[in-house]
Structures are given as C-alpha cells and as structure tokens.
Amino acid sequence: MEKMDVSGYAAMLGLFAEMVLDEAIRKQKEQTLYREIDSALARGDEKSFIVLTEQWKELHS
C-alpha cells in the first residue's frame, strides 16, 4: 500500500467531515419535518400536512 501524502490525507479528512456534516443536517431536517407533520396532523391542517409530507419525500429521495 502506498503512503498517502499530506495533501491527500487532508482532502480525505475534508470529505469525511463534509459527509458527517451533511448527515447531521439531514437528520435535523428530518426531525424537524417529523415534528411539523405531527403537529399538522394534530391540528387537522391538511394543507400543511401535504406540503410537509412532500418535503419529507424529497428529503428521502
């Protein structure tokens, strides 16, 4: 196995950090949407429910 140079290692760490951050942001959006969908259902707000579930679908596509 070849030795990775410092710039290659830094690039790999940067990509990994970006992946971790993207996943954390996605999970936060998912949790927020889940709470908002639940709230829309509790209020009987069909219009908000439809909009929010479309956002949920987009997040998971």
pTM: 0.73
More confident residue, 2 or 25: 25
Tell me the pLDDT tens digit for each residue of 13-51.
999 999 999 999 999 999 999 999 999 999 999 999 999
Half-sphere exposure of 56 (CA within 13 A, CB side): 15
User: Please, which contacts does 48-57 make with residues 24 or more away whose CB atoms are closer than 8 Å?
Assistant: 56/30
pLDDT surpassing 90 at residue 1: no
